[in-house]
Structure 1
């Protein structure tokens, strides 16, 4: 067996994140947005099914997606006219979610049984969680870092939901803000487990989406004649602090960025460049050091492409 760690270009698709960990969250976010803003109750069961299938697609992303939807429905039931109705509806939501999950797993097991002659081992869906819980691929979390602002914004979104409950004034926009905040808290754990800067970039889509939603909400509140001053609302003060950071930091980082870009441009002009991209060089390396029919094991971000091209 040949063990190979291939280098990858920044433009090469990183399938573990795109589309594996983006497909179902993006679909769920679209459906939940339509459900909340347009009051499309017809999407109730499709969202449950999307969450159930996401458990099979990628468990560590599907699990928070599945429960964020249930928590969102629980939040909406807090505004029911009486406690009995709220409790009954909450139980119905969770029973529906469990039923959809059971249906998805059952159909998947039947299909696998018919296609391959044996039932799937569902314990394998926990394999990644077991490995990461033991510290595999873990990186230490830096103390002072741009990640500090992600939980602050998610806290802002959660405070919006708390404010709705205390004032008994629900709105579709605030419900969507709460959903994005809960989903952001869930995906933030992915960065905490492996605190690499690229992982922070990969999970900031919820942060940006939530930033836009809260900015729009803040703009509406600021232009309401009866709106209280912003310094009286803690979640708006917190949002202003985060927004100020993002407006100021690009200028503060500009000297460092200019120095970095100068070094990159200098290296491009002074160092010889290979016209072939890194994946092509990696494939040539594999073909050169292996024999036809030899079984090899490839460790690389692009292992799927390398396996396909070397069959």
Structure 2
């Protein structure tokens, strides 16, 4: 999964797409590994540790963190459905849910207390979800989904995965294979919401990695069926051949793209060039001296603050993220009241 993220970024976009990698990628990818290890070993440490980690994931990024937390809880509940003792099954369902909610609340409360001691105030929970609600309500930066598109195949894979897991449940097959397929399907459906919001062709490959893992599992199952039944199962052979071609052609594409992936060497040999950003940073450093706070109204404000080792005295987003009137008003009021001697503005 780490290589997949690296390959996707290097080959298709070249520049890091930080909106997804690693912000929305790290915890979901980690959850796949941890969940598989738990289903194999049934470790208490992984059980409680996963709840803690996925609660932190929600604080890290709420939309993917919530998906990861709920996917983990649902696979635990799904695993209990294999228990033939109905009373014990119902009790375990309640216990898993209660433990999950308790640990989540404990982590969230710890975070609130830490922020209070560290910064002198509790986080504004309404603001915590404000930007997500505004973006979804008004459709900011969103792109509508096409009716006929490769995303149809991704959704179909998740539907097959859910049926696969339910089939394991009906046949009372308690192997971890059915449970991990169920987990990947639930996780994939949840992560797919990011593409549903912004249906750009570059966004779909960023969110479909659970579907790729599911396909690999399905191909392995088909291969086992073919080895068992031989040439009699024509349908399995045809589907296996198509999926095998898909994966091998992807490998061939990677080999063809090696010059692009290997561009790091030639780039490292290039001589540094003074850029407008570098000149702006030098200018800010010269003007600010030992001052720690600088009013920088620029789309590159984050870079300028980082490189000049300054911070913004205005408690408002950068210019590139200004979408609320109250943020504009906060900047305007600060300038009118404080009358700072130096204001750095893009020209």
TM-score, structure 2 as length reference:
0.69
Do 1:154 and 1:181's aligned partners in 2 also have CA atoms closer than 8 Å? yes
- Aligned pair in 2 of structure 1 residues 37, 180: CA closer, same or farther (>3 Å)? same
1:32-62 CA-partner distances (Å, limit 9, x unpaired): 0101133334311011111111111110011
Distance 1:162-1:277 versus aligned 2 partners, 3 A rule: farther
Taking a change above 3 Å as real, the CA distance of residues 113 and 145 of structure 1, as seen in their structure-2 partners, is: same
Distance 1:34 1:152 in 2: 27
Number of equivalences: 276
The answer to whether residue 286 in structure 2 is matched with residue 283 in structure 1 is no
**Unpaired stretches in structure 1, ≥5 consecutive residues:** 1-8, 262-274
Establish whether residue 175 from structure 1 lines up as the match of residue 179 from structure 2: yes
Q: Please point out which of 208, 220, 230 is paired with 1:204.
A: 208
1:88 matched to 2:82? The reply is no
Rg (Cα) greater in structure: 2
Aligned residue number for residue 163 of structure 2 = 159
Confirm or deny that 1:57 pairs with 2:55.
Answer: no
- The residue that corresponds to 2:223 in the other structure is 219
**Structure 2 stretches lacking a partner, 5+ long:** 1-11, 258-269, 289-293, 311-347
Match of 1:296, SS?
strand
| Distance in 2 between residues matched to 1:23 and 1:77, nearest whole Å | 28
Aligned to 1:198, the other structure's residue is in SS state coil
Q: What is the Cα deviation at residue 170 of structure 1?
A: 2.6
Instruction: State the 1:204 CA deviation.
Output: 2.2
1:229 Cα deviation (Å)?
A: 4.4
**Counterpart for residue 143 of structure 2:** 139
Q: CA deviation at 1:144?
A: 2.4
Do the aligned residues in 1 keep the contact of 2:281 with 2:304 (CA within 8 Å)? no
- Verify the 8 A CA contact 1:161 1:174 in the aligned structure 2: yes
Aligned CA distance change for structure 1 residues 245 and 183 (closer, same or farther; 3 Å): farther
Partner residue of 2:291?
A: none
Counterpart selection for 2:72 from 69, 73, 80:
69
In structure 2, the CA distance between the partners of 1:239 and 1:138, relative to structure 1 (3 Å rule), is farther
When structure 1 is superposed on structure 2, of 132-141 and 240-249 the one drifting more is 240-249
Counterparts of residues 1-311 of structure 1 (less than 5 Å) = 10-134=13-137, 135-224=139-228, 229=233, 231=235, 243=243, 246=246, 281=275, 283-284=277-278, 292=287, 295-299=295-299, 304-310=302-308, 311=310
| Aligned counterparts of 1:12 and 1:277: Cα–Cα separation in 2 | 18
Say what the alpha-carbon RMSD is for the aligned residues. 3.5
Contact 1:188–1:203 at 8 Å: present in 2 too?
A: yes
Give the match's secondary structure for 2:190: helix
Q: Could you say which structure has the greater relative contact order, defined with CA pairs below 8 angstroms and 6 or more residues apart?
A: 1
**Counterparts of 1:53 and 1:239, CA distance in 2:** 40
Counterpart-to-counterpart distance in 2, 1:237 and 1:165: 26
Residue 341 (structure 2) aligns with: none
Structure 2: distance between partners of 1:77 and 1:237: 35
